[in-house]
Every structure is written in C-alpha cells, then in structure tokens.
Amino acid sequence: MKKYLVEFIGTFVLVVTVGLAVRSGSVLAPLAIGSALMVMVYAGGHVSGGHFNPAVSLAVLIRGKMPLSDLVPYWVAQLLGGAAAAWVTTFVLGKATAAAAGFETMPSLVAEFLFTFALAWVVLHTATAKATIGNSFYGLAIGFVVLTGAVAVGGISGGAFNPAVGLGVVMMDLVKASMLPIYIGADLAGGVVAAVAYLYVCGKE
C-alpha cells in the first residue's frame, strides 16, 4: 500500500503543477513541470520506482522490473492522483474561463508517442538498467525529458506524455475531452515500444 500512496502523491504533485503553472500563464511552466517530476522521482523512487505515469509503469512491467499484480493498482493510484490534482487546481483557481485547447489528431498522436517513448526509454536506461545502478542523475534525466517535450511539442499536442496528466488537464478544461483517447492510446503505445526497444538493446539482464 505504501508504494501506491507514493505513486498517488507523486502524480498529484506533477499534475497539480501542470494545472497551476499553465493556468497562471507562466512562461516557466515547462521548467516547473519537469522539475516537479524530477523531485518526485527522487523523493519516491526508492519506494515505488517513481513512475507517476501509467505508460512508464507499463514499460517497466514489460521490461521485467515490476510484477503484473502491481500494474492495475499503480494505474488506479496514478489516475486518482491526476483527478485529485484537477479538483484542487479548480478549487484554488476556479473553473477555467478560456476555451479548452484543441489540437490536430495526427500531429498530436505522433508528438505524444515520440516523447512518451523518449520518457520511458530514459526511465528504463537510468532507473532500471544494471549498468547505471546507483547513479545520482536519474531524476534529473527523467524530469528533463518532460521539460524538453513540453517545449518542443506542447503547442502541438498539449505535451501530456502521460495518461494521468491527460486525464487531469481534460478535467481542468485546459484541453478538449477529445484529446483524452490520444493521451491514453499514443502514450501507452510509446511506453510499450520503448520497453521492446530496450529489451532488444539490453535484454532483461
């Protein structure tokens, strides 16, 4: 139960940072979001692995570093964290007054897939690989993938790279509900392909 609580807390902090930073219009939102993920990974990595993302959990499962029995509880904790963050953001700032953002389907699918792949790829290599065990840079590397993706494709897809973030931003009315299937499908696919690529390159060790 402790690891599920850690996943809930980490996902909550990530998604509430997304909501508050984006709603406030800060030009530093990508940095804040990447930093939130970084510090939560450092804080909770030793307990739960610091996934805070259903796509990352799926990648870690396929890679062989998480039991199947943990997958659904991790997903539930992460999605509840995203939903709770959306509620808190709306409570603090009120309902969004601007129209929810919409993005084109195919560019969004490609952008979400590519950067979720990159995120899961980095997680697997820095936080689960035997060759990098005990390193001190894994959280920084993981957070900077999200920062990079937010800057590169935030205007193309919204830059979720995470179904729990996708759920949160839809609940906050930051993006249209029609984007949620993209945030689920493309992001989970990115995690799967990253895990398969990792296994091809490194094996199960």
What's residue 205's pLDDT? 74
Is the pLDDT score of 82 beyond 90? yes
- Render pLDDT for 158-184 as a digit per residue (tens, 0 to 9): 999 999 999 999 999 999 999 999 999
Is the pLDDT score of 204 beyond 90? no
What's residue 203's pLDDT? 87
DSSP one-letter string for the chain? -HHHHHHHHHHHHHHHHHHHHHHHT-TTHHHHHHHHHHHHHHHHHHHH-S--SHHHHHHHHHHTSS-HHHHHHHHHHHHHHHHHHHHHHHHHH-S--SPPB---HHHHHHHHHHHHHHHHHHHIIIII-GGGTT-S-HHHHHHHHHHHHHHHHHHHH----SHHHHHHHHHTTSB-GGGHHHHHHHHHHHHHHHHHHHHHHH---
Q: For the chain, what are the domain ranges?
A: 2-202
Q: Does domain 2-202 have CATH number 1.20.1080.10?
A: yes
- Render pLDDT for 94-139 as a digit per residue (tens, 0 to 9): 998 888 889 999 999 999 999 999 999 999 999 999 889 889 999 9
**Confidence class for position 16, pLDDT limits 50, 70, 90:** very high
